[in-house]
Amino acid sequence: MKGAGVPFEALLWETFEVRKKREEAREQFRKCCRDADLFRTDHLETLAAAKAKDKGTTKAGELRMLKSSNKAREIGRNVRTALGKNSKGLATSLQRPHPTGEGMEICDTQTSLVDASIDEATARFTRATDISPFMTDPLLSEVGPMAELPGADEILAGTFECPPETDQYTQLLIQHLATPPEVMAAGDIPLDIPLKEHQRAWKQQNHHTAADPRNLSFAHHKAGAHN
């Protein structure tokens, strides 16, 4: 009751007093609805100032991005309302090819749902690995599957000589993979990530992002970034 702003004395109120307070609360609610746009604007201003201070940017820039994001959400909400799709929900069951190769397997547990999603994502984003010029010979033998062979450095340096079997389009691509001189002159990029930058990146993550159930969730890491 305290969190809702209702005094404990309300337990002793008469019925007419409860009805009066309810009507006052409804009137206050209607007023807030009328002033919702003003409240939203004030909230965005405060949030932009906090983000600018945290990230070392300008309030105007952060406010512009927040307004753009807010407008995109509003458009999406209107589209979903028009199409009658106000909630997409979460997947509770998936199908995937059975490991034996016969028929389909139903995945309806958290572990099997995660494994099925990972398998689908892996297949989707590695679909071109068997036909990519760099993943087939002769380039595979020159560059390596992880770009660990001398050919990879030669391509970046612009000194790589394509094997005769390389098709003309791949040769054109390789010509444009050479690192520009100004980038080479800039030296190596530091690989360490400052603690503040690491925390800021985790704060921006979606805590609903699926993670391996055997490890810590995204929500856990995101909460830790605020400590």
Domain ranges in the chain are: 8-83, 94-125, 136-185, 195-224
Residue that the structure tokens 């704060």 belong to: 203
**At residue 87, what is the residue type?**
S
Task: Note the pLDDT tens digit of each residue in 73-101.
Answer: 888 888 878 877 655 566 788 888 888 87
| Confidence (pLDDT) at 2 | 58
**At residue 16, what is the residue type?**
F
Q: Report the distance separating Cα 175 and Cα 162, nearest Å.
A: 10
| Confidence (pLDDT) at 89 | 62
The answer, yes or no, to whether residue 156 has pLDDT greater than 80, is yes
The answer, yes or no, to whether residue 13 has pLDDT greater than 90, is no
| Range of lowest pLDDT (65-69, 141-145, 221-225) | 221-225
Task: Note the pLDDT tens digit of each residue in 124-142.
Answer: 888 777 788 998 899 999 9
Query: What does the mean pLDDT of the chain come to?
Result: 85
Beta strand 104-107 with 94-97 is antiparallel
What percent of the chain shows pLDDT beyond 70? 93
| Cut 0.75: pTM above it | no
What percent of the chain shows pLDDT beyond 90? 26
| Confidence (pLDDT) at 85 | 62
The answer, yes or no, to whether residue 148 has pLDDT greater than 90, is yes
| Confidence (pLDDT) at 227 | 75
| Confidence (pLDDT) at 185 | 84
Task: Note the pLDDT tens digit of each residue in 50-64.
Answer: 999 988 889 998 999
Asked if 128 contacts 136 with a C-beta cutoff of 8 angstroms, the reply is no
Buried/exposed 180-204: b ≥16 CB within 10 Å, e otherwise? eeeeeeeeeeeeeeeeeeebeebee
| Confidence (pLDDT) at 157 | 92
Q: Report the distance separating Cα 179 and Cα 188, nearest Å.
A: 12
